[in-house]
């Protein structure tokens, strides 16, 4: 009787093994394949809708207070981004159009010479497979006339399907790298919903640990958002990227939990019902 039971289980075991082998063979094989790099938006936050403030004259009854308040809070992050991400962003955007060199089955390297702000550089981006889902990426930029001067500006982990990436951005500090930003990005290509978060991590600064998240959701009336988290307050900004109308909320600043709005001319208005 025992022999019959043991023997009868053999087909079941074979079936389980077959299923495992089939599932394994169906998984994406990334060894030896060149990874597709994520878009520039995975690294660079869009501040273009808040790149200037309206000219308000004291004699005019029209006010722009709600937009200007939003603009001033976004300006800090725009400045940080310009200082930390501008050069690697130029290098990265150009590297996306270059052919990669296969170093071995798991490592690929992109190289590009470019000029920025009157200075010639050489950039190299190296990726290395971690597993079937993720790979590492490291961006090094050097002066073109001294390639040995290369500095690691950005390193991160990227999904092969290009739906998520996390980056560390560094700056020079007397020759030593100091991390400035921690960046996380996600995107759903079917819905167009995306999110990009900067966390300011430079040691010893007043707002170290603060963050800004830029979100896009085409299905919403206000299809773009910033959520700014500071040490003592949270600022929510929402707007329509086509009309530029929007709203802002911060109980700490406005002393209420209401939204405060502006129209397509950036003029203060009563908030419309949505």
pLDDT category of residue 104 using cuts at 50, 70 and 90:
very high
| Matching residue, tokens 């909320």 | 249
What lies within 8 Å, CB to CB, of 145 at 6+ separation is: 120
- Nearest 5°: CA angle at 183, between 182 and 187? 160
pLDDT digits (tens, 9 = 90+) for 44-101: 999 999 999 987 765 567 899 999 999 999 998 999 888 889 999 999 999 999 999 9
Maximum pairwise Cα distance, the chain: 101
Please report the pLDDT score of residue 146 as a whole number: 87
Helix (H) or strand (E) holding 149: strand 146-159
Mean pLDDT value of segment 205-211: 90
User: Which residues on neighbouring strands pair with residue 146, listed in sequence order?
Assistant: 143
Please report the pLDDT score of residue 172 as a whole number: 76
pLDDT digits (tens, 9 = 90+) for 224-263: 999 999 988 999 999 999 999 999 999 999 999 999 999 9
Single pTM value for the model:
0.85
State the CB neighbour count (10 A cutoff) for residue 16. Answer: 10
Instruction: Yes or no: say if 84 and 153 are a contact pair by the CB < 8 Å rule.
Output: no
Return d(Cα 249, Cα 233) in angstroms, integer.
Answer: 11
Mean pLDDT value of segment 97-111: 95
Instruction: Yes or no: say if 112 and 128 are a contact pair by the CB < 8 Å rule.
Output: no
């Amino acid at each position: 009787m025992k022999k019959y039971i043991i023997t009868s289980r053999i087909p079941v075991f074979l079936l389980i093994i077959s299923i495992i082998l089939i599932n394994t063979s169906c998984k994406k094989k990334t060894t030896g394949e060149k990874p597709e790099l994520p878009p520039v938006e995975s690294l660079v936050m869009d501040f273009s809708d808040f790149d200037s403030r309206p000219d308000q004259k004291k004699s005019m009854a029209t006010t722009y207070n709600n937009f200007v308040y939003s603009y001033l809070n976004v300006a800090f992050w725009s400045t940080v981004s310009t200082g930390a991400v501008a050069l690697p962003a130029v290098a990265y955007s150009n590297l996306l159009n270059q052919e990669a060199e296969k170093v071995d089955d798991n490592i690929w390297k992109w190289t590009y010479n470019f000029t920025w702000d009157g200075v010639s550089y050489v950039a190299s981006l190296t990726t290395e497979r971690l597993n079937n889902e993720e790979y590492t990426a490291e961006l090094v930029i050097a002066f073109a006339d001294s390639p040995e001067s290369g500095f690691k500006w950005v390193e991160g982990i990227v999904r092969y399907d290009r739906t998520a990436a996390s980056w560390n951005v560094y700056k020079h500090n007397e020759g030593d790298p100091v991390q400035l930003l921690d960046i996380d990005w996600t995107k759903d290509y079917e819905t167009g919903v995306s999110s990009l978060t900067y966390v300011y991590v430079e040691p010893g600064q007043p707002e170290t640990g603060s963050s800004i998240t830029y979100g896009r959701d085409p299905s919403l009336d206000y299809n773009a958002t910033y959520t700014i988290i500071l040490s003592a307050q949270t600022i929510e900004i929402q707007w329509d990227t086509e009309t530029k109308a929007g709203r802002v909320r911060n109980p700490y600043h406005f002393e209420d939990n209401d939204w405060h709005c502006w129209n397509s001319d950036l003029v203060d208005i009563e908030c419309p019902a949505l």
